[in-house]
Amino acid sequence: MDFITELSKIIAKAAELPAEEIAPAIETPADTKNGDFAFPCFRLAKTLRKAPPLIAQDIASKIEKPDFVTDIQVVNAYINFYVNKEDTVKSVVAGYIENGTEIFKSSLGEGKTVCIDYSSPNIAKPFHVGHLRSTVIGNALKNIYTALGYKVVGINHLGDWGTQFGKLIVAYKMWGDKETVERDDIKELSRIYVKFHEEAEKRPELNDEARSWLVKMQEGDKEALDLWKWFCDISMKEFNRIYDRLGITFDSYAGESFYNDKMQAAVDEIREKGLLTTSEGAQIVDLEKYNMPPCLILRSDGGTLYPTRDISAALYRKETYDFYKCLYITALDQNLHFAQWFKVLELMGYDWAADSLVHIPFGLVSLGDGKLSTRKGHVVLMEDILNQAVEKALTIIEEKNPDLENKEKVAEDVGIGAVIFDDMFNSRIKNIVFDLDRMLNFEGETGPYVQYTHARACNILKRNAFDTLAKDIDYSLISDEASVALCKAIGDMGDKIKEAADKNEPYIVSRQLIEVCKQFNRFYNGKNIMQCEENEKKARLALVCETKDCIKFGLGLLGINAPESM
């Protein structure tokens, strides 16, 4: 039963208001002493011209109490509803028995496409810790939107064009060789790229040479393009190795170079619509009246810039995918950049730009006490972080469960899961400080704690020789306080997934997973299932099975594996 929908109908009838206005206001009190659901009447004060407590009393007096409600109490401006415990449990467990994890999904986004632009590393540069947040937040949002029925297009907008390639070609010709690059791949490309900048400080003419190679690339010079493609292939080999470990895939790798032949049309359109003005030789869109600096479209030498490319990409994606939303997962410091070119698209007459284009910013990553080591000095490689997390997880497993099968695979799942979950546990705007000891704590609000709870549920089912869900369950046998609290936590997961999409905040799913785990451990510690009589055991094992699948589903949304043994 959807209690909120049913309660909204009952309240609406008594208040003589539309049910769709009531449903969004219904709350779930943090303290069950205040009911299972509550309707605050503050918002009705202006319409009904009465004090909220009087409104609550009036509406409550007219409510026809349904069978699933055991009590209705008015506390100040709140109408509190107490739901029959057996009905609460049945609504959650029976739905799961009938539909499995489909109960956590929705058709909310049916017929709508969401594009998500995330990760987007620069070619020929190492995949470092700075790429982590965009990558895992974007992947989680992709999974969350998919669960809600949206068609999701994951886009890796690679930094695969620009002056840096001219610099890299010069560096390769002066200090590189094919054999070393093929052996050391991106590490060697990074080394010679750094060397170019060091040498260019002493010999500025190297920058002119780099620009000439970029011009050759733009003009289709075979040698220049062959080297460019080679550098791209080497980089993608490393990136894909990291993505494979993270379990992340993309639907499009259309990077900056993809839009080379599409930018002129965008520039022409901006000019035709009278938006371009000249400033110190550059072509800009003046945004002073919108309290923003000008948006640069063309440099004084005619070269394009990031806004030019981003505007072209948005127009292409709208035409190709007809997206309902296009999300951009980048750091907070890019807020102005996105606000500027979003506004340019609006000024071009594209009304969808105001509502459909969404910048999703996130905070910084820092290393805290510096426990993480790196082979690259100030550049902390993503692979180093993953390796150290996995090694530490393996050490913990060796101490706690040395006979565990597939220890290396479990350590991989736990170590990488710990890094991802830690990123997802707080609002994305909050800065992240790496602390492997905290991340890998099996007793804190961490990924390993959630994974361990899943493994514990799997073990309970295994020890009780559980193989199939029974349909003839006596729900009165699991209407105790701990069972009801667990069912509520599981039952809230679907709404939390919707809320996570609405706010573009994966942490909402993470926090709900912690709540499910806390309530499950309370349920598990409260009664030994193996000592229960058969009917109660059957009911409790059904709830254990649902908990296991709920945790696995939730972890999957975050991009984390759920080991069955730990």
The strand pairing partners of 360, in sequence order, are 329
Backbone angles phi, psi at 405, to 5 degrees: -75, 150
* Two structure tokens written together for 308: 């030019």
C-alpha–C-alpha distance, residues 319 and 418, integer Å: 39
- Which bin fits 142, alpha (ψ -120 to 50), beta or left (φ > 0)? alpha
Cβ atoms 565, 407 nearer than 8 A: no
Active site residue 125: yes
Helix (H) or strand (E) holding 475: none
Amino acid at position 518, single letter: K
Which residue of the set 85, 90, 125, 359 is catalytic?
125
Amino acid at position 98, single letter: E
User: Please, is 463 exposed, middle or buried when counting C-beta atoms within 10 Å of its C-beta (0-12, 13-18, 19+)?
Assistant: exposed
Active site residue 167: no
C-alpha–C-alpha distance, residues 58 and 49, integer Å: 13
C-alpha–C-alpha distance, residues 504 and 140, integer Å: 10
Active site residue 128: yes
Helix (H, G, I), strand (E, B) or coil at 362: strand
Which residue of the set 85, 128, 392, 496 is catalytic?
128
* Two structure tokens written together for 447: 């990924």
423: number of Cβ within 10 Å? 26
* Two structure tokens written together for 422: 């830690």
Which residue of the set 131, 392, 454, 548 is catalytic?
131
Q: What's 533's DSSP letter? A: -
Cβ atoms 86, 485 nearer than 8 A: no
Cβ atoms 543, 93 nearer than 8 A: yes
The strand pairing partners of 357, in sequence order, are 326
User: Please, is 145 exposed, middle or buried when counting C-beta atoms within 10 Å of its C-beta (0-12, 13-18, 19+)?
Assistant: buried
Give counts: helices (H), strands (E), the chain.
22, 12
Closest-CA residue to 402 (of 448, 410, 419): 410
Cβ atoms 542, 437 nearer than 8 A: no
C-alpha–C-alpha distance, residues 287 and 305, integer Å: 17
Helix (H, G, I), strand (E, B) or coil at 511: helix
C-alpha–C-alpha distance, residues 279 and 281, integer Å: 5
Terminal C-alpha separation, the chain: 36
Tell me the C-alpha to C-alpha distance, in Å, between residue 341 and each of 257, 280, 335. Answer: 19, 20, 11
Q: What's 109's DSSP letter? A: T
Cβ atoms 356, 305 nearer than 8 A: no
Catalytic residues: 125, 128, 131
